[in-house]
């Protein structure tokens, strides 16, 4: 395609479902930068970490709070738009993956609602954001392309991959269907992105960084030769915009036959890499340990099945903030431990897609973001230090005072045992360290002063040393 930079964008109205998300907000910004008249977002959230960025843009952004699984919300958002980017999805990773009902409700029913609204209101273009998982389910794929068949529905190990496969096929089979309103045709295509990264990404890297911070990122899955794809957010946004241009039906020489109509495209940075090699520079820049031990894929898969069973039992509390993310789930074992990467050649030839940000530049920007984020957050020791300190102090308390039953007696140094003296001295030290941490944090990290106080109260010097280290850097 040889089109102008803003072909099909200037003066048009767009809808981005999931527009308050990481990719959605970046896409909204780029559409407005290229001259879109109005960009609507449809998102169940009233705000997100990227809302402030969209608010700064001001005119041109219309945020609609709604759910794609509700037909009336979708109809309200779609009416009057020229092109829809359907990004909204559920169940990509973590606890969400286990909520099969909600996954189908958003990914399948929601997509049906989007399609129905496009037909009803005469929308001409629909770009659907799919996933590699529609063709990958644990088998090795080397430099795959769009000719690969869909992975068998019954063989998916999680609802997400199956639901996205159903939704993508619905979208592509709807290509060319006539609108009920004005007789126009809806042209559709699907973008299959690799694992997405960049400053502010909320799915993959935060979970990895949190585990590394707690000392739980103890091993890597699969052989060092295993490779997979990543895609930087700006490259994905570029691909989405090019896909929307590829659905234009008035391109000279292709009138009525858009180049991208009914087509899927794999999108990546074009540099397959081992996941653990990819994230190593990030973890090292944050002073977190890089896993050295290796876990076989079959063992990781078994571990994932165990966590799946445990979290299935805990299903009523999956949305509770106190329940942490599972360590690993079956499909994640496949993604980490089995080679699967794809060629973006079709997207290059048909859409003109060429990554504009290299993996080195993308990771550099991501590292800068996480270093700045670490400066603004509460740092602390690994889970092993937490267990040692909290359980150890509780054990000293039990050994010192458990035999004493009945009313509490006044304590004096003469009547106190060595264990009791040790416990009282330890508590006094923790209190003193917590007070010192409070005053030091007021100068070094005032936004987290309370957090430093309570963490140091619980852990003593195990926590205080991180604050002292930060103070030395000031």
Please list the active-site residues: 160
Closest CA to 383 of 204, 202, 210: 210
DSSP-assigned letter for residue 325: P
Side-chain-facing half-sphere of 464: CA atoms under 13 Å: 18
DSSP string for 193-251 = E-EEESTT--SSHHHHHHHHHTT---EEES-TT--B-EEEHHHHHHHHHHHHHTT-S--
Strands 177-178 and 185-193: antiparallel
Structure tokens at 334: 């496949």
- Rg, the chain, Cα only: 26
Query: Residues 93, 265, 208, CA angle at the centre, nearest 5°?
Result: 25
Rounded-to-integer distance, Cα 470 and Cα 449, Å: 13
Rounded-to-integer distance, Cα 303 and Cα 410, Å: 51
Rounded-to-integer distance, Cα 324 and Cα 320, Å: 9
Three-state SS at 430: helix
Q: Which residues, at least 6 apart from 39, have a Cβ–Cβ distance to it below 8 Å?
A: 13, 14, 15, 16, 19, 28, 31, 32, 60, 61, 62
Q: Are 268 and 193 in contact (CB under 8 A)?
A: yes
Rounded-to-integer distance, Cα 333 and Cα 175, Å: 34
* 19, 23, 25, 30: CA torsion to nearest 10: -120
Which alpha helices (DSSP H) does 338-444 contain, by range? 345-351, 359-376, 383-401, 418-444
Rounded-to-integer distance, Cα 152 and Cα 143, Å: 20
Rounded-to-integer distance, Cα 434 and Cα 417, Å: 26
Rounded-to-integer distance, Cα 424 and Cα 417, Å: 11
Closest CA to 243 of 258, 256, 255, 231: 258
Closest CA to 249 of 4, 80, 6, 7: 7
């Amino acid at each position: 395609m040889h089109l102008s930079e803003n072909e099909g964008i200037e003066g048009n109205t767009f809808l981005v479902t999931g527009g308050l998300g990481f990719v959605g907000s970046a896409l909204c910004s780029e559409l407005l930068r290229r001259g879109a008249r109005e960009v609507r977002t449809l998102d169940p959230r009233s705000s997100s970490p990227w809302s402030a960025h969209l608010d700064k843009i001001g005119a041109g952004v219309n945020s609609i709070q709604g759910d794609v699984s509700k037909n009336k919300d979708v109809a309200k958002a779609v009416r009057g738009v020229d092109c829809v980017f359907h990004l909204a999805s559920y169940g990509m990773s973590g606890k969400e993956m286990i909520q099969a009902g909600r996954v189908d409700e958003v990914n399948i029913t929601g997509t049906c609602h989007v399609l129905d609204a496009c037909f009803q209101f005469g929308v001409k273009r629909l770009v659907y954001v799919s996933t590699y998982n529609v063709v990958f389910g644990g088998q090795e794929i080397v430099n795959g392309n769009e000719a690969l068949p869909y992975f068998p529905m019954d063989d998916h190990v999680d609802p997400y991959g199956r639901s996205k496969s159903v939704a993508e096929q619905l979208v592509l089979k709807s290509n060319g269907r006539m609108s009920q309103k004005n007789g126009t045709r809806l042209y559709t295509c699907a973008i299959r992105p690799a694992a997405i990264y960049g400053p502010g990404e909320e799915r993959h890297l935060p979970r990895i960084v949190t585990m590394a911070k707690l000392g739980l990122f103890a091993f890597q899955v699969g052989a060092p030769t295993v490779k997979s794809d990543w895609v930087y957010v700006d490259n994905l946004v570029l691909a989405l915009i090019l896909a929307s241009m590829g659905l234009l039906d008035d391109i000279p020489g292709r009138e009525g036959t858009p180049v991208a109509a009914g087509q899927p495209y794999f999108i990546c940075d074009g540099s397959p890499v081992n996941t653990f090699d990819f994230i190593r520079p990030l973890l090292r820049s944050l002073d977190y340990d890089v896993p050295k031990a290796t876990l076989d894929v079959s063992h990781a898969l078994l571990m994932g099945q165990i966590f799946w069973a445990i979290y299935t039992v805990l299903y009523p509390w999956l949305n509770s903030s106190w329940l942490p993310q599972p360590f690993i789930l079956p499909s994640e074992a496949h993604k980490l431990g089995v080679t699967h990467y794809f060629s973006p050649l079709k997207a290059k030839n048909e859409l003109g897609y060429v990554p504009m940000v290299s993996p080195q530049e993308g990771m550099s920007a991501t590292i800068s973001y996480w270093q700045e984020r670490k400066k603004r957050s509460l740092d602390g020791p690994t889970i092993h230090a937490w267990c040692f300190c909290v359980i150890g102090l509780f054990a000293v308390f039990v050994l010192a005072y458990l035999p004493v039953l009945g009313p509490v007696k006044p304590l004096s140094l003469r009547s106190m045992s060595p264990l009791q003296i040790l416990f009282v001295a330890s508590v006094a030290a923790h209190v003193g360290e917590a007070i010192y941490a409070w005053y030091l944090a007021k100068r070094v990290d005032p936004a987290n002063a309370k957090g430093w106080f309570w963490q140091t109260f619980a852990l003593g010097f195990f926590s205080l040393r991180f604050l002292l280290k930060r103070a030395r850097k000031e």
